[in-house]
Structure 1
């Protein structure tokens, strides 16, 4: 989820670009770079690290003033964090910045190699630049139209051609681009946050349309060469709010970023319809030799592990345990060379999880970490790393990091089961298709916001609240409960629904809210009987089910029905519902959603 910006006009382009990248840095801060027309050619300055490192390099370069250029701040997906892998990328006549993932870059790289053309970086983005250059014979639009027929995946490109001074071309598919033209010039970026300093009026570049930016105007054409005038939009945010992309809170923004984050995490690891970890060096031999798995993590990451355990055991029949990282190192755990220890952490710096990782290595176990931050301590010390590509997560309450952790665990489970010959290749491919389908399902569930906001008004005065569910629903209940208590300060607990009669039901009194998840067909009837038990004792029930069940209206006060999907994949959609419940309840209680009391984003002490 990188940040990109392009400017051509009468201002100092280097200043416009670097200032814009500072605003866009939340989208990625592994490296940054700019390219600009100067000294009768395109010059590029880029640097590993934050935008501040780039700014120092730009200042030291002391190049002549430029009025046209493009800039990029990177969240690495393909290739490690380095100056070489930083954007912009130049090949031949083409200089390009990219947000997204080119899914077929390996195949394209092989085709280009046959022509004697080789990249210098490890990125999919440079391959895109090479493909465009391969078609370029002086007509940028023609080259772009030919190139995008070969490029598969999501992308937003801003491109400069060496023989087209002071002009920027842009095109997108999936990844966002917004643009505006003012008396000072034309500017385009991945987020309005970089534009608002210059104008509050903007347009969204339509997908599969080409924008040509000059200092005087932006001309947009479709694939039939027809000029299109996208509708202009207006914002009334201040700069601080714009950094949230117009959302009131980062948490809401990050809830809405989940489809893109899921796509960025899943897509690079699909080869021929199968999960593939060759880029991560995770061999099938390692999986074949694994006799037992221990998942260790804290908080939300541990709850992702609970879902992963159920799925991995179901598909592989290999024993999996989930351990709280803060307890793991003090429990004298049983570990050996046939045990794979999976650690999960958004930041990659969680102290307890790092300690658990080190203990596992001391005891001879192989370690695999699922983390979101390149170069973090856990990533550096693990034998293998599955990076999630959620982009920076700023709100303390984790949302998109949780769902991408789930997606990484699902990919791992499918590959593990396939290698262990517990599922066929066809079945593995079917699972992958269903996993990819969850991206659109999650996007659809984002439209539930109005319904859930209304429900949350009924929860804002609660002192206690309970989540119940069975199987995957219980694992998800744990996450829903922590999310609610984190930001609303309502006392909340999650229980396996069958355990209610073993003490917990004594806490159910008139008007106590109970959120019941009943999405698993094999235990649906059992869960519904537990719902009737709390209902008969006066509970206010919010029932979450799949679309394929009939629900007695007297059974609940509110019924949230998920879109049709296979039961194994409901955690993705249901997670969004539970995130919304927590978010809108916190808003109704007039609390600071992004910065709840006593909590920090990354826990780096025990």
Structure 2
């Protein structure tokens, strides 16, 4: 999982310093996708480069080859650094100062690329960071998000043709392959466009990827392509109007030369919202070529020698800049926890009716879903937990058997998926690798595929037959909070829509709809426990482990609460099914081990009371989450600590109950001195297996 970003200004003067800052800010917006290393590439110029060589200072970027370069122009400058984005920023400004690079030089047209990495192939190090290069002179440079599955075969082939490799990445084969294709064409006296080079490279690649190419052979041009991983084109056309209003509605109008514009590529909408709201989500096998201010889109097809030209309409981004800023909060996770009343409201807006719900994304396929033999809920991590929270009342309202599948396990087992099944895929990013592979597997087996995702234009949104957009807003913190609760609500509305044709559940559905409408108010109420959860975190700061017991609707709450503590506070924690307590976990109980038991009022309440008594009898260090006013009836002694939460209808209680555990995880992390938004070894949008 990585973040890629590119910026091209055309017919509008931009200083090199400005270009650097646009690239750096793009990476800052994407840092939640990867933060163990990063890099950028910008243009040099002939005068500077000759000065570097002839002035006795050595060749730019440490190269010692003689002039001229193969392209006849100055090679791009590539900066790569291990660590977070600010480490790159600091090192770049130090290096440009040492090499006396003029940051005030203005470019009427310039193409720069940038990348932030979460290591998959190769340890975090400058040599493994992107942009990856074709070799000496940086003739071709590539930034990459995804994974190339046949890179070893390509590497062996290129090595036999004289290429040497410096990194451990799968990405390095791509720019070297581009140089190989270009050199072969030139040897045959063929003139090839940048887009032709890239399409021939695509023909050799297997796997999932989003790629942006830059080359000194094609100055001031960029080519981007994708297969499986998200890639966004942002467009900002500039006018003399003070408001710099956009003057176009589709890509065709961008083919007109001369109009000043700024163009952006990004693996996430969050990185372009501060520049423009006009964007295009690339589809699989599309190639976007930017040259002379024109944007050309080609559709690559393995069966055809030449890709076809296509026209695409631009979309308008609904996200606001404020969503990608922390505001008065200390961390994004803290902000996103407290944004949940709003995110739940936006998820339900326009969808809740007096006696039902309106989900336009499912309408055409509802008959097929209702006639399914079973519904299979598929996800990973937090998304799996959200689906698990919904399973009981999805079964209840639909009267269709509902099964759960972890995407990776389904693939490992090649579990049975049938044409009569409806497979529901849940992913916050819409780019989770295992979930997408499971989606391909289900499509191959003929199942009806439904997507639940927070990301417009994501692979999951495009490849499923239908779906529900979660609409929780941009989530920057790596540990998902508001997306989790909005996923539950989105799937709750899906359950209501599926069961809408059953008279026997009408009263139940209406009570759930009423509960949904009041849910944001209940969440505001439970957020008032913030200081109480901070005090609880202070009492647990030295604990080595934490157990969380839940059952029924709140088994998922136990799993998700423990996962949050594990993810950010780096503390061992386990969510457990309370009904299995006596089948092993009870052996762990003593007076030192903190145990949270979720015992709010529902059909499992009396069973949870029994669990509490058994844990108390073994001197367990008890923390009980209960409904407001019920602490005296569930806490067996003064040594038991209670967390009182508002009571809502049983099937929606997991939305309320998870929030104190999110707050606990947040405060534990801060108190223990760890990075809340960028936890160790984790990043957002798991796009590799």
TM-score bracket for this pair, using the shorter chain length: 0.5 to 0.7
Q: Match of 2:495?
A: 413
TM-score, length-scaled by structure 2: 0.56
Q: 2:331 aligns with which of 249, 252, 274?
A: 249
516-525 or 456-465: which moved more? 516-525
- After superposition, give the CA deviation of every residue in 1:457-495 in whole Å (9 maximum; x if it has no partner): 111111111010111121210111111111112111111
Q: Match of 2:687?
A: 604
Asked if residue 581 in structure 1 is aligned to residue 664 in structure 2, the reply is yes
Contact 2:347 2:470 in 1 (8 A): yes
- Alpha-carbon offset, residue 443 of structure 1: 1.7
Asked if residue 493 in structure 1 is aligned to residue 574 in structure 2, the reply is yes
Q: Match of 1:197?
A: none
SS at match of 2:581: helix
Q: Match of 1:277?
A: 359
- Alpha-carbon offset, residue 456 of structure 1: 0.7
- Alpha-carbon offset, residue 386 of structure 1: 1.2
Contact 1:372 1:390 in 2 (8 A): yes
SS at match of 1:501: coil
SS at match of 2:548: strand
**Separation in 1, partners of 2:338, 2:249:** 29
- Alpha-carbon offset, residue 548 of structure 1: 5.5
**Separation in 1, partners of 2:668, 2:547:** 15
Contact 1:32 1:47 in 2 (8 A): no
Asked if residue 508 in structure 1 is aligned to residue 555 in structure 2, the reply is no
Change (3 A) 1:591 1:25: closer
**Separation in 2, partners of 1:385, 1:439:** 23
**Separation in 2, partners of 1:469, 1:364:** 36
Contact 1:473 1:520 in 2 (8 A): no
- Alpha-carbon offset, residue 38 of structure 1: 5.5
**Separation in 2, partners of 1:300, 1:74:** 31
Asked if residue 262 in structure 1 is aligned to residue 344 in structure 2, the reply is yes
Q: 1:458 aligns with which of 534, 539, 547?
A: 539
**Separation in 1, partners of 2:542, 2:469:** 40
Give 1:111-122 correspondences, 5 Å limit: none
Q: Match of 2:451?
A: 369
SS at match of 2:370: helix
SS at match of 1:568: helix
- After superposition, give the CA deviation of every residue in 1:229-275 in whole Å (9 maximum; x if it has no partner): xxxxxxxxxxxxxx321211111011111111111111132345521
- Alpha-carbon offset, residue 59 of structure 1: 4.4
SS at match of 2:678: coil
**Separation in 2, partners of 1:522, 1:507:** 27
Asked if residue 333 in structure 1 is aligned to residue 534 in structure 2, the reply is no
Q: 2:598 aligns with which of 517, 520, 527?
A: 517
Q: May I ask how many residue pairs the two structures share in their alignment?
A: 427
Contact 1:31 1:46 in 2 (8 A): no
Contact 1:367 1:384 in 2 (8 A): yes
**Separation in 2, partners of 1:422, 1:25:** 49
- Alpha-carbon offset, residue 284 of structure 1: 2.9
SS at match of 2:350: helix
- Alpha-carbon offset, residue 310 of structure 1: 1.3
**Separation in 2, partners of 1:566, 1:332:** 37
**Separation in 1, partners of 2:550, 2:501:** 31
**Separation in 2, partners of 1:122, 1:60:** 17
Contact 2:430 2:453 in 1 (8 A): yes
Q: Match of 1:286?
A: 368
472-481 or 426-435: which moved more? 426-435
SS at match of 2:582: helix
**Separation in 1, partners of 2:568, 2:421:** 37
- Alpha-carbon offset, residue 429 of structure 1: 3.6
**Separation in 2, partners of 1:410, 1:313:** 11
- Alpha-carbon offset, residue 360 of structure 1: 0.6
- Alpha-carbon offset, residue 413 of structure 1: 0.9
Asked if residue 45 in structure 1 is aligned to residue 127 in structure 2, the reply is no
**Separation in 2, partners of 1:544, 1:324:** 28
- Alpha-carbon offset, residue 352 of structure 1: 0.5
Contact 1:477 1:517 in 2 (8 A): yes
Asked if residue 558 in structure 1 is aligned to residue 641 in structure 2, the reply is yes
**Separation in 1, partners of 2:327, 2:350:** 26
Change (3 A) 1:124 1:253: closer
Asked if residue 593 in structure 1 is aligned to residue 676 in structure 2, the reply is yes
**Separation in 2, partners of 1:384, 1:428:** 23
- Alpha-carbon offset, residue 419 of structure 1: 2.7
Change (3 A) 1:289 1:73: farther
**Separation in 2, partners of 1:341, 1:322:** 10
569-578 or 557-566: which moved more? 557-566
- Alpha-carbon offset, residue 337 of structure 1: 2.0
- Alpha-carbon offset, residue 385 of structure 1: 2.2
Change (3 A) 1:256 1:33: farther
Change (3 A) 1:500 1:192: closer
Change (3 A) 1:270 1:528: same
SS at match of 1:283: helix
Give 1:177-326 correspondences, 5 Å limit: 191=322, 243-271=325-353, 273-326=355-408
**Separation in 1, partners of 2:665, 2:565:** 5
- Alpha-carbon offset, residue 35 of structure 1: 10
Change (3 A) 1:300 1:46: farther
**Separation in 2, partners of 1:388, 1:57:** 40
Change (3 A) 1:38 1:60: closer
- After superposition, give the CA deviation of every residue in 1:188-246 in whole Å (9 maximum; x if it has no partner): x97499xxxxxxxxxxxxxxxxxxxxxxxxxxxxxxxxxxxxxxxxxxxxxxxxx3212
Q: 1:474 aligns with which of 552, 555, 569?
A: 555
Change (3 A) 1:415 1:276: same
548-557 or 285-294: which moved more? 548-557
**Separation in 2, partners of 1:447, 1:57:** 56
**Separation in 2, partners of 1:543, 1:560:** 6
- After superposition, give the CA deviation of every residue in 1:526-561 in whole Å (9 maximum; x if it has no partner): 111111212222221111111253425544532111
**Separation in 1, partners of 2:435, 2:258:** 36
TM-score, length-scaled by structure 1: 0.63
Question: Aligned Cα RMSD in Å?
Answer: 3.9
Change (3 A) 1:190 1:334: closer
**Separation in 1, partners of 2:328, 2:528:** 17
Change (3 A) 1:533 1:58: farther
Change (3 A) 1:192 1:486: closer
Asked if residue 569 in structure 1 is aligned to residue 652 in structure 2, the reply is yes
